[in-house]
Amino acid sequence: MGKYIIKIFFIIYAVNLLARDFKILKEKKFEIYYERDINPYVTEYVLNILKDSDSKITEKFNFTNSYIFKVVIYNDLINFINDRVGNFNENYVFKSNIIYIQNIELLMQQNILHSVINYALTRYQLILNFDTNIIPEWFLTGISLYISNLNFSDSGIIFKNFDELINFLKKSSNSEKFKQACHNLYNGISYLLNRFTFEKIIEFLNNCKAKGDFENLFFQFFGLKLQDYKNIILNKY
């Protein structure tokens, strides 16, 4: 039901964009909406990143589903704010399975545009393929961060408990605590991959999906109680 609501939401949103000063670039799985004064080279560059990332993610996880992944690129910061996408401190936002980007040239100059899109696409695919009622979204987010190599520097913030960390994943990407939460989850996956192969993690995810269990299988696969793993993430091992 939730996926249908998201689909209806974007249809309405897309009609609104096209009625304004936006153009659209479509190719198979991807739709890019962009303001008319943005250089078409930029949108082609984004499309190539999407296709490259999609190919690698699909091969790594053996995904077979079809979907439409949407990107909205703003050049006008005021529109970015007025559309309630984000605030002036944010260069990208990922919500409702859509990635919104403003100040795209800065992301290109910083050489992180590829990582940003790769992260959003990976996270989207994982959430599409694995039930977050079984596999927690925070675990899938950690995998997405690791695959994209989109890691935030350690700010030294210590979370009081795991619930606080999860809470800040829902906050603005400009928040230092949000960045620290991402950093911790990235390190949590790094911890597992220092001890196990990535294929082992994929096998674990597929078993969770088939058997409808996460916590017990986590112990079976990795020899760690889930609470101990959360403590490792909080303590940044």
Q: Which has the closest alpha carbon to 104: 154, 49, 146? A: 49
pLDDT at 5: 52
Residue that the structure tokens 């991402």 belong to = 182
For 52-74, the pLDDT digits (tens) are 989 989 888 988 877 888 888 88
pLDDT at 89: 56
Residues of the chain below pLDDT 50: 9, 19
pTM: 0.82
- Here the tokens at position 157 are 């913030």
Domain spans of the chain?
1-129, 131-237
pLDDT at 168: 74
Residue that the structure tokens 């949000």 belong to = 178
| CA atoms within a 13 Å half-sphere pointing along the CA-CB vector of 67 | 23
For 135-170, the pLDDT digits (tens) are 999 999 999 999 888 766 677 777 778 888 787 777
Domain boundaries 1-129, corresponding CATH code: 3.40.30.160
CB 126, CB 144: distance < 8 Å: yes
Q: Which has the closest alpha carbon to 137: 98, 165, 100? A: 165
pLDDT at 19: 47
**Measured between alpha carbons, how far is 126 from 74 in angstroms, rounded to an integer?**
26
Sequence-distant (≥ 6) Cβ neighbours of residue 121 within 8 angstroms: 50, 53, 54, 57, 69
pLDDT at 196: 96
**Measured between alpha carbons, how far is 116 from 100 in angstroms, rounded to an integer?**
11
